[in-house]
Amino acid sequence: MRTFREAVQGEKFAITAELTLKRGSIKDDVLQQADILGPLVDGIQVTDNPWSWVQMSAVSAASILIHHGIDPIPIFTCRDRNRIALQSDLIGLRALGVTSVLLMRGHRVPENHVLPATTVFDTTGRELIAMASDLGEDETLGPGRAFFIGIGARAFRPNRGWRAESLTERANAGARFLQTQLCFNMDILRHYMKRFVEAKLTWNYSVMVSLSPLPSAQTAQWLKENMSDSRIPESIIQRLEDARDPQREGIEICAGLMREISEIPGVSGVNLMTTGNAQSIPAAIEASGLRGSTPSR
């Protein structure tokens, strides 16, 4: 089985996609999406109860995917588990043969959430990275590869001479790839990557950029308002608003941006976030023309 680690560190432009999970998702739902996405992507990301919505656990979904011949990339945050539970789940993933994980601090459980849950934050994001990295050197766990560890990062407009201390510290803790927030703003992304390359951060990180085939202007506006770090220009929202077929327009927008991103120096690939319709992701990949080609970086 070709792994995401191999893909993102190779010459080919890497593509991953996000699994759509709901509270009522079952094994067949995961397998159906795996069959749709698997032939076109280098790994499938499994979210960790985003926005504090309860869904199938990332460990369970990862187990289903890996036994179906697909490399899963589970996402873990510090929000819901203490360090004992986090370490237990990471050991479980290693035993399953999971090779890559995306680790983030996460956001607090919102006030007045439908479930009266307590935010944990027993560890920091950097401590979680170090914990996962240390497991690769723990001889008591038996043979197994060290995790290929990813982190979340925010694309913005760094000043000249930007030193990116936080990214360097997380690389020193064991992080090896970086995934941006949703970024449809190519001016910001190009500026960010120019400074990223100047700071020699590509020596430490492979970079994945997050996109999504947005189905409507309403969805785009909701994401812009509720994911405060997202970069969705008003021009994108207007294109969706004016389109006769917004869903098709969202696919074309995503495909066009994928092609642009594939030409930005320092970017290794894109991750396509779900909007609930698994079919729109392969449609965007196919419309981009990137699969099967080897664009320059």
For the chain, helix, strand, coil in percent to 5 are: 45, 15, 40
Nearest-angstrom CA–CA distance, 155 and 242:
28
292 pLDDT band (50/70/90 cuts)?
A: low
Domain map of the chain by residue range?
4-207
What is the rounded average pLDDT of the residues 190-204?
A: 97
pLDDT above 70 for 154: yes
Centroid of chain to Cα 255: 17
Question: Mean pLDDT for the chain?
Answer: 92
% pLDDT > 90, the chain: 80
**Angle at CA of residue 58, ends 254 and 166, nearest 5°:** 70
Pairing of strands 72-77, 267-272: unpaired
pLDDT above 60 for 115: yes
What is the rounded average pLDDT of the residues 32-51?
A: 93
pLDDT at 49: 85
Digit-coded pLDDT (tens) for 158-181: 999 899 999 999 999 999 999 999
Q: Helices 234-242 and 217-226, interaxial angle, to 10°?
A: 160
pLDDT above 50 for 32: yes
pLDDT at 88: 96
Say whether 112 sits in a helix, a strand or coil: coil
Nearest-angstrom CA–CA distance, 284 and 253:
9
pLDDT above 50 for 295: no
pLDDT above 50 for 209: yes
What is the rounded average pLDDT of the residues 184-203?
A: 97
Start-to-end CA distance of the chain, whole Å, equals: 25
pLDDT above 80 for 223: yes
Bigger pLDDT: 139 vs 224: 224
pLDDT at 145: 79
pLDDT at 143: 67
Q: Which of 102-116, 142-156, 275-289 has the lowest mean pLDDT?
A: 102-116
pTM to 2 decimal places: 0.93
296 pLDDT band (50/70/90 cuts)?
A: very low
**Secondary structure in 3-state letters for 209-278:** EEECCCCCHHHHHHHHHHCCCCECCHHHHHHHHHCCCHHHHHHHHHHHHHHHHHCCCCEEEEEECCCCCC
pLDDT at 214: 96
4-207: in CATH 3.20.20.220: yes
What is the rounded average pLDDT of the residues 64-90?
A: 96
